[in-house]
Amino acid sequence: MSELKNFIDGQWVTPDRSLPAQLCDANTGEVLAPQLGSSSKQVEQALDAAQAAYEDERWYSRDLESRLASLEQIATGLDTRAAVIAAADSQQTGVVISLTEKVALICAAAFRGAAALLREIDGPDKLPGIHGELLLERLPLGVAAVIAPWNAPSGIACHKLASALAAGCPAILKPSEWAPGSAQLIAEAIAEADLPDGIFQLLHGAGDTGGMLVVDERTAAVSFTGGLQGGQAVAHACADHIKPAQLELGGNNPLLVLEDANIEAAAEGIVTALTTLNGQWCRALGRLLVHESVLQDLLEQVSNRLQALRIGNSLDPDSEMGPLVHQGHRKHVLEAIEQYAAMGADIRRHGELPELGGWFVQPTLVSGLSPELTLEEIFGPVACLHSFASDDEAIRLANQTPYGLAAYVFGEESHAWDVARRIRTGMTKINGVTMLNLNPQAPRPAWGLSGLGDEGTRETFEFFRGSRLTGVAGTPG
């Protein structure tokens, strides 16, 4: 992997703090490199540079074509690095290479999409006023802190960065210390593009590095993807300074199988929702809700599919599921399963684990517990099963958790539509499960504890901008 370097005010510098943990190959546990962090001095330097770049408008004042050309340069640089970005994400997160290769292609697409949107809506609007036209402008808010997670690090980071830079904001990226490899490659692609110093910067580190960025008065907006605890800390800090925060957090997402569902399609959807990103994705299956009349048939088909699942080294193109991201997260997931077992749950593990020494966990179904005991997200290949006898009961169970990110409904289409529209969640997919959005241009909303504000090509771009209205209110004299 590339040596970890910070990028501050146009210069590559070594992070000047050592963190207590090691960065490991998720498949084998082999140590790849020490985890490194940024000191308060380096964070201060990055913030100073970003604020200076914002104040003199060295990026935003450029003409539109120049900014578009720079965004295309970044996209081209990401295209050439797609394979190594995919390999870094796969090795460090445990996500199978066949999926990280697809995510790596999203990196360049994010910058081209943001550029296309900028071209479409660049320029002020004019509104009628009492004494002539009013000028309505959408302007960059200022320094943008982008805090990316470890589960899909490259795609999420590029989506946020592309939006911030297209909006005209200087952006500081803080990747997860558990998966910094692709961020290093992304930073290299951006550093090669024609951007002024201070407009993009990279700071490695753990939560305290992100915390220093969030609380600083020079940071004008924070876009964060991660867990609930981290999101709550960001929200508290932003509230103190009344600064906008975009939070995409977790979701203990329900998948409903109605009595008139296609059982084969539902079984396939369950396996996909349970094992994509090894269960480590915000829209993964958390609560499996099945009509009692189809329960046994469905479980048999799900079990058969999971038993045949190829669990192996994430860098092997034939693997269908890999390990979890690090040893601590594996411990967390296994302890959650043990706690359910201690409550009297029936634990069903599926598939054979490879003898590689990494952080592997079998896909697991948990049943036999009261629904009130399964409200929290685990963030792994684990789902809690509950049966229901009516649509009303199914909807009550689906809406029972404090989250509201995603839901899935399998059933006869008109019936599934009726049920889906009663679920309190940001996105509901009918008769299918996919990691991709229902439409590339559609928003990705979050309700409840799942987040704050919508994400999406236009939504994230606009998050980094504020409105300014100017006009004549009276006549002189």
The one catalytic residue in 24, 107, 158, 160 is: 160
Question: Which residues 6+ apart lie within 8 Å of 249 measured at CB?
Answer: 225, 226, 227, 228, 231, 282, 405, 446, 449, 450, 451
Phi, psi of 441 (to 5 degrees): -95, -5
State the residue for tokens 């079984």.
Answer: 267
Q: What is the DSSP letter of 371?
A: G
Task: List, in sequence order, every residue forming a beta bridge with 254; answer none if it has no partner.
Answer: 287
Q: For residues 6 and 196, give the distance between their C-alpha atoms in angstroms, rounded to a whole number.
A: 17
The yes-or-no answer on residue 455 being catalytic is yes
The yes-or-no answer on residue 248 being catalytic is yes
The one catalytic residue in 177, 188, 377, 455 is: 455
**Residue whose C-alpha is closest to residue 46's, from 192, 209, 206, 155:** 209
Q: For residues 62 and 395, give the distance between their C-alpha atoms in angstroms, rounded to a whole number.
A: 52
| Tokens matching residue 181 | 């490899």
The yes-or-no answer on residue 5 being catalytic is no
Task: List, in sequence order, every residue forming a beta bridge with 465; answer none if it has no partner.
Answer: 140
The one catalytic residue in 248, 377, 384, 429 is: 248
Q: What is the DSSP letter of 4?
A: P
The one catalytic residue in 282, 377, 384, 462 is: 282
The kind and range of the H/E element at 174 are strand 171-174
Q: For residues 110 and 116, give the distance between their C-alpha atoms in angstroms, rounded to a whole number.
A: 10
Q: Count Cβ atoms below 10 Å from residue 65 Cβ, excluding itself.
A: 9
The yes-or-no answer on residue 413 being catalytic is no
Q: What is the distance of C-alpha 149 from the center of its chain?
A: 6
Catalytic residue positions? 160, 248, 282, 455
